[in-house]
Amino acid sequence: MRKIINYPQFYNQLSPNRVFSRQEAEQAFPKFDSRRLFEWKQKGYLIKLTNKWYVFSNVAITDGLNYLISNSICQPSYISLETALCFHQLILDCAPADSLGEKSIHAITKHKTVVYHNDRGVYSYRKIKPEFYFGFETLEIDGKAIHIANPEKALIDFLYFNANLNSLSKLTSIAWNIQALNQLDWKKLGSMQMSIGSKALDRRMDLLKKGLKLTDF
């Protein structure tokens, strides 16, 4: 027989997670009736992220929450591309954290390329070959462990996946933070670049260095 759990009990147990799965709810409350999730969503207590994942509606919308959602609803994955470039301040024209419904979080995954739309934003994932799934670290952001690309891999991923950045004019139209780029570990970046072994990536990297007159490489 399924056990009836009231919302205060449920919230007190799982709210520290902020984001939780149906499986986590069932583990916390054996014989939990998952129909309560639909009921509490209808009442506005929960926001459905995917068929399996939810977030408590009273959790403040921050970059940290968006990163946590991204890491959670597609596993394994790590924050990268434009999102990680903004986090590391390598580009300057970043969207505000509270652009509800418009905030896009970009990530890399071993699974299929997919985009999830929900009431907390847009969560985009690009599939990468398993052997290229490296160059990320785990940082504590808003009290949660977040998988995010290091600055060098964020740049590598961005140039690797953006085939349209094939000219100086397109690359230099981006609001790059030249000072931050010059502070990258270019030896580490070069090693990552060699590991990937993509001629297209090499061309874009060379164009970027030439166009921005980067010095530390």
**Amino acid in the structure at residue 177:** N
Alpha-carbon distance values, 138 to 77, 105, 112, 144 (Å)? 12, 17, 22, 10
Whole-number Å distance between alpha carbons of 73 and 21:
8
Beta bridge partners of 124: 106, 115
Q: What is the pLDDT of residues 59-72, one digit of tens each?
A: 999 999 999 999 99
Name every residue whose Cβ is closer than 8 Å to that of residue 3 and which is 6 or more positions away in sequence.
29, 30, 31, 32, 33
Q: What is the pLDDT of residues 192-208, one digit of tens each?
A: 999 999 999 999 999 99
Q: What is the pLDDT of residues 85-120, one digit of tens each?
A: 999 999 998 865 444 445 799 999 999 999 999 999
Give the residue carrying structure tokens 């799982």: 14
